[in-house]
Amino acid sequence: MDLETFRSSPSGRLVHSIQGRYWAFAPSPLPPQIDWGSDLVAALSDADRALGELSGLGRSMLNPRLLIVPFVRREAVLSSRIEGTQASLSDLYAYEAQQMPLLEHAPDVREVHNYVRALEYGLERLETLPLSLRLVREIHARLMEGVRGERMTPGEFRRSQNWIGPPGATLNQATYVPPPVDEMRAALYALEDFLHRETALPPLVRLGLIHYQFEAIHPFLDGNGRVGRLLITLLLCRWELLSQPLLYLSAYFDAHRQTYYDLLLSVSQRGMWEEWLAFFLRGAASQAQDAVARAWRMQNLRERYREQFQTARASARLLQTVDLLFARPILTVGQVVEKLGVTIPTAQGYVDRLEEAGVLREITGQARNRVYRADEVLEAIEAVLGE
């Protein structure tokens, strides 16, 4: 760690390890002094406006679950990709359909699936409990269960020093060394206090501060980035900034990955809060606009399908099968049986009708144990919009 770049930082202080073998950075408690320049004010205004539109859309939807399920999975793929996983959205859906032979990146897909589980668990817990350090640990335990970081004490804050740097970097070669364990604990308690404290700061600005602070503390041996991005969604819902969990920033962070890392580091080194917050707010605005456009695209696709099959001889169960495609765009007849509570022949009949209409495509070429894919639905979920 280049000590000179941290020595005069207004965002925290350099601390010596107990053994005196290395220096680390301990971030100061939130909030910092913020210079409300015109760029930051404009970014906040744009983000608030876009978030309000998205929240209104979430309240007006008859069945928001149709969007929540695919949005959560898209976020899981993109947040995990920032950390180096290669699994695609198709891999994740194939994994959830228990179709392991279809996976292109089998070792990574469990990590992505764990992200879905952790996020869904956090959202469920927040219905009755505030966000706390205990809940953060519980989320981390689910994120790391049964994957390559499983030996990194899932669900427990670290009891040893970690560091950030290029692959293979030693502690002495690190770009950034988070606070030692004792300082880490104090920083976490201060962060938890800030989470629950009344403040006049705009909520989205608080969110940007909290995301930086969590990453600077780096309280786990592995999985810090994913937990930090996951907390954004949980706080948006806990603070009722969104009526439904439809905003996710990982696509923006992934598209601007180096800037994302550089700005987080620049806050620690030089106190560049305004630059970081403006970036964070632009990301919130961009992804809120993307979510609105993506939601309408998926809603329109659903309505087109329903109109296509809304005939006198169409059963309500067939229309439910159409809706199921938005949660399971890669599925089997067995899944239709399980979700709709119908017989195998009835479920096969629904799937056959959707295949004949070009809505589903069989992707194994097998006579038995067939798997179907809804290409247009997957494209609507995955598409890069605005280009």
The domain tally of the chain equals: 2
What's the average pLDDT block by block, 10 residues per block, for the chain (387 residues)?
92 86 94 96 98 89 84 93 88 84 72 94 91 96 82 89 91 94 97 94 98 98 95 94 90 95 97 98 97 92 90 78 93 93 94 95 87 94 67
**355: containing domain:** 310-382
Query: What is the model's pLDDT at position 387?
Result: 39
What are phi and psi for residue 201, nearest 5 degrees?
Answer: -65, 140
Residues 134 and 237 in one domain: yes
Q: Is 133 exposed, middle or buried (0-12, 13-18, 19+ CB in 10 A)?
A: middle
Backbone angles phi, psi at 153, to 5 degrees: 45, 65
- Cα distances from 370 to residues 248, 265, 362, in angstroms, run 33, 49, 7
Same domain assignment for residues 272 and 350: no
Asked if residue 87 and residue 226 are part of one domain, the reply reads yes
Put simply, whether the predicted model's pTM sits higher than 0.85 gets the answer yes
Same domain, 208 and 167: yes
Do 136 and 237 share a structural domain?
yes
Pick from 226, 261, 293: which residue ends a domain? 293
Asked whether residue 43 is domain-assigned, the answer is yes
pLDDT score for 302: 92
Residue 65 shares a structural domain with residue 124: yes
Which of 241, 261, 293 is the C-terminal boundary of a domain?
Answer: 293
* Residue 82, H or E segment: helix 65-82
CATH number reported for the structural domain that contains residue 225 in this entry: 1.10.3290.10
What does each C-alpha distance from 50 to 225, 241, 280 come to in angstroms? Answer: 25, 11, 14
CATH number of the structural domain spanning residue 365: 1.10.10.10
Q: What is the pLDDT of residue 310?
A: 82
Phi (first) and psi of residue 331, to 5 degrees: -150, 170
Name the phi and psi angles at 18, rounded to 5.
-55, -40
Does residue 135 share a domain with residue 226?
yes
Whether residues 223 and 351 fall in one domain: no
